[in-house]
A and B are shown apart, each in its own frame.
Chain A
Amino acid sequence: MEVKILTQHYDKPEYKSLDGYKKYDGYNQLKKALTLKPDEITEMVKQAGLRGRGGAGFPAGVKWSFLPKNNKTRYLICNADEGEPGTFKDREMMDKAPHQLIEGMIISAFAIGSPKSYIYIRGEYFESKKIVEQAIKEAYENNLLGDNILKSGFSHHMDIYSGAGAYICGEETGLISSLEGKKGQPKLKPPFPAVEGYLANPTIVNNVETLASVTVIIRDGVDGYRKHGTEKSPGTKLFSVSGNVVKPGNYEVPLGYPLKDIIFNLCGGLKEGRKLKAVIPGGSSAPVLNAEEAMSVNMDYEDLASKGSMLGSGAIIVIDDSNSMVELLKVLMNFYHHESCGQCTPCREGTGWLLKLSNSILSGSANLNDVALLEKVASHMKGKTICALSDAAAFPVLSFVSKFKEEFTSYATSNVALKFQATNVQSYKRG
């Protein structure tokens, strides 16, 4: 059953406004945090073992400790781009509890000593942007933002910046390039953003849920936070379940919660007469789990890694037997080909190739070695580019083809004769 810590008061509509948020112990954690020393807070977050909730799962405390000791202005950026297909948890958090995010950001900014922070929100979220803007205005009016916050001598400014529709801006350095007004193309790493990020200043980029969980750590303390979840991945996680389930939605459960319970208890199982075929556990770029693996896996970083998949952004996409895996692969490849930023050659040309191959397999005009070629192309795209989008495109291909081999070959062998595709030999209008 659900353990509501972050989402405890999401059902109350007045939680959105400042006084409604203050009624439920709002901004007390900020008062408490301002009394502590910044390094103490970083230490607490590191002890609590809070791991990044955006997709990489990198421990937040460790990331904060990478900041170099120089006098460059430090920036804190909240990554609210949420482009990963299947994920809709950040949107609900910002709609229902914007102040939770703002309070978490002020505490984090105080911990890393950054005078300025941005919330990079997704371009399509017009309504959420209005809600968060309203919340920021309220915070400024009540001396929770601006100079000398709550008379503590710490001053901090916050601004909201909207993207314009690019999945690649969910990647740290892609987001930073977009914030700098350039094309949202990822930057070369090293130097990492913690050392040289926004306008070559040290920058920390964290997900909405990660920053919101900081308030929980301050309120319950390290062992209070570690009460939930497993030893290596503590705390609770917001899972957005979608696909062929009766009650899709966001469910907050402690990490290590068995996937079977989430699908069949919390979400009311599959539609009647349908059998579970596969589950994508962590957003579209996570390798897929077939039915048996999905039944036996617990939702935390380590157990999913052992099954060859990853927790990612915690978006569970349930697939029942009425869908064809080849068609779903084509939809995903279409997504990655449309969203590839085109900077590195393996990803720019590779995603196009994967899409055309999956199209030809789906249309039945492919032969057996096209399926093998699909795997070869994906394996040679992985790990060779500036950002992880080529890996995100390769993981579904490799897991779909290896775990549902017979479905792909059945599509391919339906076309027995190797048709010579005179595809390139046609007179086309050029210039």
Chain B
Amino acid sequence: MKVNRNIKTYFLLSTFSGMKFTFFKMLKNLFNKKKMITLNYPEEKYKYSSRFKGTHVLTVKKDGSLRCTACMLCATNCPAQCIKITADEHKDSSVEKYPISYEIDILRCVYCGFCEEACPVDAIRMGPEWQTPDKNGSKFNYDIRYLAYRPQLKGGVESSLDDKERHSWGI
């Protein structure tokens, strides 16, 4: 029998048929949590690959000093021109040149990774973090203290060529 259009509109048959789909999905999720597609963020976070291009990290040598020699190649290669470096003479003559200030204006950064490619001494890397909110605008100018020594970097940044192997060579 042809179901009358009015019954469909008044008794909201199409709505309930739609809700049927989500209702059974909810039951399925209730009973076997592991198969659930979505993550309950922020407790569980998605694990990205080591090549993920997140917030920048300035890698450090064994003695904790910056690996960066202020050669300005990243600042030159950056299409957004958001890296500002000033260099100075290092006291220890075997280091010769090091940055006294290294700032990235993260609001203008397009996370393209050109700086990581340009760096000859692998001093700057794109780290795994990506959630970096902040309250006022001035905080988005990351300086050396944030880029190299922020607390989230406690365990060292895992990447294709980990620091531990290079530290074992003593550089």
Task: Chain B residues near A430: list those with CB within 8 A.
Answer: 93-94
How far does the alpha carbon of A428 sit from the alpha carbon of B94 in the complex, in Å? 8
Nearest-neighbour CB distance to chain A for B133, whole angstroms, equals: 40
Q: Which of A427, A429, A431 contacts B171 (CB 8 A)?
A: A427
Q: Are A422 and B169 in contact (CB under 8 A)?
A: yes
| Residues in A382-431 with C-beta less than 8 Å from chain B | 422, 425-431
Nearest-neighbour CB distance to chain B for A94, whole angstroms, equals: 52
Q: Are A431 and B93 in contact (CB under 8 A)?
A: yes
Let me know if B170 is at the binding interface, CB within 8 A: yes
Task: Chain A residues near B93: list those with CB within 8 A.
Answer: 430-431
Nearest-neighbour CB distance to chain A for B97, whole angstroms, equals: 13
Chain B interface residue bracket vs A: under 10
Task: Chain A residues near B94: list those with CB within 8 A.
Answer: 427-431
Binding site for A on B (CB under 8 A): 93-94, 169-171
A-B contact count (CB 8 A): 14
Residue pairs across A and B with Cβ atoms less than 8 A apart, 5 shown, are A425-B169, A425-B171, A426-B170, A430-B93, A431-B94
How far does the alpha carbon of A161 sit from the alpha carbon of B170 in the complex, in Å? 54
Task: Chain A residues near B171: list those with CB within 8 A.
Answer: 425, 427
Please report whether the interface of chain B is mostly helix, strand, loop or mixed according to DSSP: loop
Nearest-neighbour CB distance to chain A for B164, whole angstroms, equals: 15
Binding site for B on A (CB under 8 A): 422, 425-431
How far does the alpha carbon of A423 sit from the alpha carbon of B169 in the complex, in Å? 12
Nearest CB in chain A to that of B171: its residue: A427
Nearest CB in chain A to that of B61: its residue: A427
Nearest-neighbour CB distance to chain A for B95, whole angstroms, equals: 9
Nearest CB in chain A to that of B94: its residue: A430
Task: Chain B residues near A426: list those with CB within 8 A.
Answer: 169-170
How far does the alpha carbon of A428 sit from the alpha carbon of B95 in the complex, in Å? 11
Contacts A425-B171, A426-B170 supplied; 12 other A-B pairs, CB < 8 Å: A422-B169, A425-B169, A426-B169, A427-B94, A427-B170, A427-B171, A428-B94, A429-B94, A430-B93, A430-B94, A431-B93, A431-B94
- Indicate the member of A427, A428, A429 with the most B CB atoms within 10 Å: A427
Nearest-neighbour CB distance to chain B for A426, whole angstroms, equals: 7
Task: Chain B residues near A425: list those with CB within 8 A.
Answer: 169, 171
How far does the alpha carbon of A430 sit from the alpha carbon of B169 in the complex, in Å? 18
What 10 A-B pairs come out closest when comparing CB atoms?
A: A431-B93, A430-B94, A427-B170, A427-B171, A425-B169, A431-B94, A430-B93, A429-B94, A425-B171, A426-B170
Nearest-neighbour CB distance to chain B for A364, whole angstroms, equals: 24
Nearest-neighbour CB distance to chain B for A167, whole angstroms, equals: 36
Task: Chain B residues near A429: list those with CB within 8 A.
Answer: 94
Nearest CB in chain B to that of A428: its residue: B94
Nearest-neighbour CB distance to chain A for B16, whole angstroms, equals: 70
How far does the alpha carbon of A221 sit from the alpha carbon of B94 in the complex, in Å? 71
How far does the alpha carbon of A427 sit from the alpha carbon of B94 in the complex, in Å? 9
Task: Chain A residues near B169: list those with CB within 8 A.
Answer: 422, 425-426
Task: Chain A residues near B170: list those with CB within 8 A.
Answer: 426-427
How far does the alpha carbon of A422 sit from the alpha carbon of B170 in the complex, in Å? 12
Nearest-neighbour CB distance to chain B for A34, whole angstroms, equals: 68
How far does the alpha carbon of A431 sit from the alpha carbon of B93 in the complex, in Å? 6
How far does the alpha carbon of A278 sit from the alpha carbon of B170 in the complex, in Å? 48
Nearest CB in chain B to that of A431: its residue: B93
Task: Chain B residues near A422: list those with CB within 8 A.
Answer: 169
How far does the alpha carbon of A55 sit from the alpha carbon of B171 in the complex, in Å? 51
Nearest CB in chain B to that of A430: its residue: B94
Nearest CB in chain A to that of B169: its residue: A425
Nearest CB in chain B to that of A429: its residue: B94
Task: Chain B residues near A431: list those with CB within 8 A.
Answer: 93-94
Task: Chain B residues near A427: list those with CB within 8 A.
Answer: 94, 170-171
How far does the alpha carbon of A272 sit from the alpha carbon of B93 in the complex, in Å? 61
Nearest-neighbour CB distance to chain A for B17, whole angstroms, equals: 67
Nearest-neighbour CB distance to chain A for B62, whole angstroms, equals: 9
Nearest-neighbour CB distance to chain B for A171, whole angstroms, equals: 39
Nearest-neighbour CB distance to chain B for A404, whole angstroms, equals: 38
Nearest-neighbour CB distance to chain A for B122, whole angstroms, equals: 13
Nearest CB in chain B to that of A426: its residue: B170
Nearest-neighbour CB distance to chain B for A32, whole angstroms, equals: 71
Nearest-neighbour CB distance to chain A for B11, whole angstroms, equals: 78
How far does the alpha carbon of A427 sit from the alpha carbon of B171 in the complex, in Å? 6
How far does the alpha carbon of A6 sit from the alpha carbon of B169 in the complex, in Å? 66
Nearest-neighbour CB distance to chain B for A20, whole angstroms, equals: 66
How far does the alpha carbon of A102 sit from the alpha carbon of B171 in the complex, in Å? 65
Nearest-neighbour CB distance to chain A for B65, whole angstroms, equals: 13
How far does the alpha carbon of A209 sit from the alpha carbon of B121 in the complex, in Å? 61
